[in-house]
Amino acid sequence: MAKITAVIDIGSNSARIAIFKRTSRYGFYLIEEHKSRVRISENSYEAQGYLQKEAIERAICALRGFLKIAHDLGARKIFCVATSAVRDAPNRGDFLALVRSCLGLNIRVISGEKEAFYGAVAAFNLLPYQEGITIDIGGGSCECALIKEGKIVHLSSLNIGTIRLKELFFDKNTSLQQVIEFVQNEIKKLPETLKSHCIFGIGGTIRALSKAIMERAEYPLSTLHAFEYSVAEQQSFFEQIYSARNTDELERLGIDEERFDNIRGGTLIFSLLLLHFGATNVVTSGVGVREGVFLSDLLRNSHFTFPIGFNPSTRSLIDRFCTEDTRSKNIASYSLKLFDTLYLLHEIDETYKFHLKTAAKLLDMGSSLNFYQSNKHSSYFLVNGLNYGYTHRDRILISILVETYASKKVPNIDKYQKFASLTPPYKHIVWLSLILAIAESAAIHLQNVDFKYHNNKLSIATYDDPYLFKESLKKIPLPNNLVIQTDWLEE
């Protein structure tokens, strides 16, 4: 098993390397990522697609540096793929031979459909949703994939991309209407039946748009992956971007300087595709072709999907930071039993059992940094480390539960208010934290515990001496309508 795998992606605009480290069979995490603005497609669209000498030289230099990074980190596998600009180039064979001769690196030129496939594999495995359409806007092309019930059912590739539009239209000050007509004619090649309310947005253009939206809204998290927004609320913003007449207007709209020269074309493509698909919601993807290539290798024997209920981020965090796996499993088990036992009191929807179970499994991870205030360390780890398969709401709630349970106090109302737009009602957080605190105390001091609830009394039966457990309960602020009775059973 290759512990460290590097994936290089040569796009029309940028070349990137992502390096992944496996922690167990399917657990992994990203250990390094680099980007070089190679612009392999520069000046090629007006030269019948031929890659130009200067662009090729930049690519060779970037790839040489990428290979050094990969080898220094001990990568046992190195995959390198090239997309639109290289696959369309009549002189691509010369470029591939030169790279192989100079660097010993074999580049695999992938089709548009294969590019769409890799984006889809990354999206449905690493985003928290199983149905939607991926839109991956690159420099030379745009790939789309329809995902239903976690399966890829359609792949498409269109010859519209940010650099292609820039060189063919925007650099020549062509009228916006002509650009719109060009893009619409390409979009017409898509099947009319290709519709979805949910869009998974992949690529630099869409990440740049999401970043601007988050800053304008003063969003409480800085994480782009799995950030969601309403299409209806942002279409006018998109129109302002692709209609902008100069960089000053783009700067006022919150667009980063490095995106000034290609954001208009990318936003126009994205906006028109959202309308075509009838989309109402966008989920930003921080993953794409590179993760798709890695996962296609990792999951090649399991139909390119993780086992049901498996999450690679959770597994990776447990593998790296959790030292008491047996206790964590007991806390999770007791938490779920307590949730069910006390349901008549809290009446919280059962979907929150997922958050309770995840928090219970990862409670002690902060101890690997420092035992004291380990819950605060764990909380920080979780809000930043639950990268894949979780919504932002999931991450915040799990983080708050893990930080709160050990303090044996009512959850901090100030922190709740900071993230109020991403959390359930405050009373839910209070109850879930309480359940977690009781379960953790029980897992430390007792075994073979039985929970029963009747007439506002929670009875906890155990064969272990409950002395220390009873002491720990005194620190937990119980609601007025709950009394806990501990019964010490004889063998």
Cα-to-chain-centroid distance, residue 250:
27
* pLDDT the model gives residue 412: 67
Q: What pLDDT sits at residue 136?
A: 97
Q: What is the pTM of this model?
A: 0.93
pLDDT at residue 420, as a whole number:
82
pLDDT at 1: 55
Q: Return the structure tokens found at 351.
A: 């979907």
What does the pLDDT read at residue 408?
A: 58
Report mean pLDDT in 10-residue bins for the chain, 491 residues.
90 94 95 95 86 95 98 96 94 96 97 97 96 95 94 95 91 92 96 94 96 94 96 97 93 91 95 97 97 97 94 94 84 95 94 95 86 85 92 94 72 74 89 92 89 90 90 85 83 60
Structure confidence by residue, pLDDT tens digits, 138-195: 999 999 999 998 899 999 999 999 999 998 999 888 999 999 999 999 999 999 889 9
The residue type at 10: I
Return the pLDDT at 47.
83
CA end-to-end distance (rounded Å), the chain: 48
- pLDDT computed for residue 481 by the predictor: 79
Number of Cα atoms under 13 Å in the Cβ half of residue 358: 28
Strand order in the sheet with 483-488: 450-454, 457-462, 483-488
Taking phi over 0 as left and psi of -120 to 50 as alpha, with beta for the rest, 399 belongs to alpha
Supply the pLDDT for residue 410. 64
pLDDT, residue 113, reads: 97
Give residue 302's pLDDT: 93
Closest CA to 432 of 337, 362, 348, 361: 348
Q: How far apart are CA 385 and CA 387, in angstroms?
A: 5
